[in-house]
Homo-oligomer: A and B are copies of this chain.
Amino acid sequence: MTNIKDLAKMAGVSVTTVSRVLNNHPYVSKEKRNAVLAAIKESNYEQNINAVHLSKGKTQMIGVVLPFSDHPYFALLLKGIAKQALENNYKLVLFQTDYMESRELEALQMLKQKQIDSLIICSRTCEWSVIQEYLSYGTIVLCEDTKGKEVSSTFVNQYKIFKEALAFLYKKGHQRIGYCIGRKTGPSSQLRANAYKEFLSEHQLPYCEEYIIDHCNYFEDAKIVMDHLLQMDNRPTALIVTSDQVAAGIVIYCQKQGIKIPEELAIIGYHNESIAKLMEISTMEIPLLEMGKNLFQQAISKEITKEEMFFRFIERTTV
């Protein structure tokens, strides 16, 4: 492996000069520049990027924390981030956490160790207080409403979305409304739970634990939902499902079981994933690609900003 020193020798100049042409700095004569260029070509030279990183104290790499990459929500978010990273000449380091705190900590650790310049946490498991400790080591960006906190974030108003879905269903005459979520803990679910409880008390409806179904992430989780529903005495007439993928699964199951949608069970999905368009599932559209782009921009920006993205209810045939 030839290095910058070798180049200097070959070209008959100093390492400084070599570094200058390598980094397109001014103040280097045409002759010397050409000499260096020739040496580079001849030696098949390549920068050792780790040395550059050490010297500069930056890596042009950004970490992305997400629970799993094979879920449309995160896959789309990631796609948006990746697109923007590419345009800005940054690399992405992926942390797939499965919602395990230890893995999120690893990512935070890498920020502290300077292996990544910033960290985008698409869905956090750690308490806010632990994330806070790492704020001084680099930019951290979250995908939730961070209110007065000292971090940038791009988010949608999960509370409002849920409220709107509930209101729509109520207006359609539904009184027994259930919902499916990915995990009970986590900031979004918290907001949804609040919205749900408020909705119930506003309309003096009873709270029914059974109506909340956890661990709904993939198509196949629809089976759990349906099994759960079918054994209930007084099952909900409508379901808010926080992922179109799961909503699609439920629709298909209902077809098999002969349960009419929306007459016997109304469904509102989330995100407006492509399956929702295809299957004509009513859904709360969330601009995931845009959010991904935004998250990335915030990751490389010096300023702390909070950007709320807009959602939109799309009425189709399942409600």
Contact = CB atoms under 8 A, between A and B. Distances in A.
Interface stretch (A90-98, A189-197, A202-210): A90-98
Nearest to A83: B96
A230 interface: no
A222 interface: yes
Bin the interface of chain A by size. Answer: 35 or more
Contacts of A82: 69, 94, 96
Contact of A94 (B57, B70, B94): B94
Contacts of A219: 274-275, 277-278
A227 to B, nearest CB: 14
Interface string A246-258: 0011001100000
B110 A91 contact: yes
A259 interface: no
A130 interface: no
B279 A110 contact: no
A59 interface: yes
Interface string A74-113: 0110110011001000011111100000010000011011
Contacts of A49: 110, 113-115
A43 interface: no
B218 A274 contact: yes
A187 B50 CA distance: 34
B92 A47 contact: no
Given A94-B82, A94-B92, A219-B274, A50 B54 contact: yes
A51 interface: yes
A218 B79 CA distance: 14
Given A86-B103, A220-B274, A248-B275, 20 more contacts: A49-B114, A49-B115, A50-B54, A50-B114, A53-B54, A69-B75, A70-B76, A79-B96, A82-B96, A91-B93, A91-B110, A91-B115, A92-B93, A93-B94, A218-B274, A219-B275, A219-B278, A220-B277, A249-B278, A253-B278
9 contacts: A48-B114, A69-B69, A70-B78, A70-B79, A75-B75, A91-B94, A91-B95, A219-B274, A275-B275
